[in-house]
A and B are shown apart, each in its own frame.
Chain A
Amino acid sequence: MNTATRSERWSGYALLTVMAIAVVIPFLSVFLASLQPAGTPVVGLTWPERWSWDNYEQAWSVAGFSDLIRHSLTIAVGVVPASLVLAALAGYALGTMKLPGGNAVAAFFIAGLTIPVELIVVPLYFDLRGLGLTNSYLGVILVEIALFMPFSVFWMRTHFQSTPPSLVEAARIDGASSGTILVRILLPLARPSLMTLGLLVFMWSWNQFLLVLVLIQDTTKHTAPAGLGFFVGQNSTDIPTLAAGTIIVMLPILILFVIFQRSFIAGLLQGAMKG
């Protein structure tokens, strides 16, 4: 099918490369700025004369990014497993059983895909404050699980719908209960889907900003993005430390992306298609 001419190929790759550079340069600019000696005026894209990692130490210890990262991880560790368990259970029932009204319930979940944080954050603050769940990780965890649940349920439901029904039938004939079928047969097969979902949920949890900004007003309890957002308001002049902080906040998700890029990209693209 290689009907394209040589010049078409070249121009295609040339354009791809130009766009790739356009994507990378902002990252490169902030990375190079983070390596400049602290306090020096930094201009655009400047190669540092001396690679100075002091800014990272500065950001990590003085500006408190180690705490911010820890808080973000605490929340993600609460959100990811719970989301996977709840979504797998619901997706299993909605995807493989003939539930009366099951399609309506599934549609009700899917409708939640359109709920932006902006729509729910105001009463959440007052309601959770009444329950003593503001400035608490538990509050954020519960809301994030709920916020990602429409996608999670939809993702797992689609997965279970695509498993061969004969598998479930055969197990039923052998007398397996629905719980046994899920745990022994379907979940082991669902590992790739669960892993992709776990990565996406981790990413969304990590990147969550507005929700944390509202529900955790105690700045000593902030997460990485919220801390960075706060930090930029406070220290907009100290570019190298700010740049180092930015890199630190991006790093965990970047590492995961490098390791699991296939699952990530497939998840983001398929997820968009399914959503």
Chain B
Amino acid sequence: MPSRPPVQQPPDVRVESPDVQVRSRGPRRRSPYRGYVYVLPAFAVYFCFAVLPALHTAYLSLFEWDGVTLGDWVGLGNYQEIFQDSILRRSVLNALVLVVFFSFIPIVVGLAMTGLLARFRRPGMGAYRFLFMLPQVVPLVAVGVTWRWLYGDDGLVNQTFRAVGLDGVTRAWLGDFGAALIAVGLVGTWVLSGLCMMLFLSGVQKVDPSLYEAARLDGAGPVREFVSVTLPHLRGEIAVAMTVTTVAALASFDIVYVTTNGGPGEQTTVPGLLVYRLAFSEGKVGLAAALAVVLGCLILGIVYLINRLSRSES
């Protein structure tokens, strides 16, 4: 933009239209694009090290490439393979099963607790809040190692079953074909239930207490009150909890890698694990990229869907 000569304006105009006054005040009229100088550094880093790699992944997904020699263009062949290969398909299905444990159960638990606790003031919540958020702050790898130990032969889970005389139930949970995926899922339930509960409880605090009183006066019981007062007010929080927990389930690399590494067999493989394995130990970079794109699209689609639904309802 060319620089312009200073424009003097009568004081009364400035007072009436602050917008004009602001622009023309300085020694020269400023380009409205000048502010982008502040945005540029953040944008550059974000673009170069997050957006470009994401686009590069999409590009790589169209090749068959071992990471060393020249790649061969295969078009959508890798995507076709994802839908045909049983292990790859399995990993996506496992991730969807994990959604039940990472997302659905924590939200139900959180809502149930909120329903119970919404009706009265809760002194002493600070300590509970601290404890419930604890699994949110520690590294998931450490969580995984901890649960690997709890699920082990001599771990707490088996110890508990033995103590109550259920010796027949004990097993190496993470190595059991039937139980492994559920066991991994329950780790997610453990991590995310507290977050959901805290989200809902802080949301419920914004509800006008007189609504509860009115419901009481109308003779509403706890269930009725929950359905007609608490639940409608928590719509936004529920959408947020669904988004956060679903993304955590679909991108559950850390916990799975440490607890089962996908085993036994392929019982607990998830897309993240296969992306890592295909690209860096099996030399199928293009296929790994395609799976990463599928995972990214799945996340984007679900986030979009949840936001769409929660908005159209409210």
Task: Enumerate chain A interface residues (CB-CB to B < 8 A).
Answer: 1-4, 8-9, 11-12, 15-16, 19-20, 22-27, 29-30, 33, 41-45, 86-87, 89-90, 92-94, 97-100, 102, 105, 109, 112, 114-127, 142-143, 145-147, 149-150, 152-153, 169, 172-173, 175, 178, 182, 203, 206-207, 209-210, 213-214, 224-226, 228-229, 232, 236, 239, 242-243, 246, 249-250, 253-254, 257, 261, 264-265, 268-269, 272-273, 275
Tell me which of A117, A203, A265 has the highest count of chain B C-beta atoms within 10 A of its own C-beta.
Answer: A265
- Beta-carbon contacts under 8 Å, B124-139 to A: 127-139
Cross-chain pairs A/B with CB under 8 angstroms, 22 sampled:
A19-B113, A23-B135, A24-B131, A26-B147, A29-B146, A30-B145, A86-B41, A89-B41, A115-B50, A117-B272, A120-B57, A123-B60, A147-B50, A173-B21, A210-B272, A226-B141, A232-B148, A246-B146, A249-B141, A253-B139, A261-B130, A268-B137
Measured between beta carbons, the chain B residues less than 8 angstroms from A178 are 34-35, 38
> Inside 8 A of A269's CB, which chain B residues have their CB?
198-199, 202
For the complex, what is the distance from the CA of A123 to the CA of B250, rounded to whole Å?
20
**Chain B residues whose C-beta falls within 8 Å of the C-beta of A109 in the assembled complex:** 42-43, 46
Counting from the closest, the 7 A-B pairs by CB-CB distance are A44-B159, A146-B49, A4-B120, A123-B56, A93-B38, A90-B42, A120-B53
- Name the B residues within 8 Å of A20 (CB-CB): 127-128, 131-132
Give chain A nearest CB distance to B17 CB in angstroms.
Answer: 12
B143 to chain A, nearest CB (A): 8
Task: Out of B56, B141, B240, name the residue touching A228 (CB < 8 Å).
Answer: B141
Residues of B within 8 A of A8 (CB): 116, 119-120, 222
In the complex, which residues of chain A have a beta carbon less than 8 angstroms from the beta carbon of B258?
Answer: 229, 232
Q: Closest CB-CB distance, A109 to chain B, in whole Å?
A: 7
Q: Taking the nearest CB of chain A, how far is it from the CB of B304, in angstroms? A: 9
Give me 11 other A-B pairs in contact (C-beta within 8 A), A44-B150, A93-B37, A253-B139 excluded. Answer: A15-B113, A22-B190, A23-B134, A23-B135, A30-B146, A105-B43, A123-B56, A210-B253, A246-B146, A269-B198, A272-B244
B57 touches A122 (CB 8 A): yes
Q: Is the CB of A3 within 8 A of B213?
A: yes
A44 to B49, Cβ gap below 8 A? no
Chain B residues within an 8 Å CB radius of A152? 42
| Interface size range on B against A | 35 or more
A112 near B146 with CB under 8 A, answer: no
Of chain B, the residue at the smallest CB distance from A206 is B139
* Stretch in B2-10, B80-88, B177-185, B286-294 with 4+ CB within 8 Å of A: B286-294
**Interface, chain B (partner A; CB < 8 A):** 18, 21-22, 25-26, 32-39, 41-43, 45-46, 48-51, 53-54, 56-57, 59-60, 67, 113, 116-117, 119-122, 127-150, 154-160, 190, 193-195, 197-199, 202, 209, 212-213, 216, 222, 236-237, 240-241, 243-244, 247, 250-251, 253-254, 257-258, 271-272, 275-276, 279-280, 285, 288-289, 292-293, 295-296, 299-300, 303
Contact at B150–A246, with CB atoms within 8 Å? Answer: no
| A228/B142 contact (C-beta < 8 A), A25-B156, A243-B149 known | yes
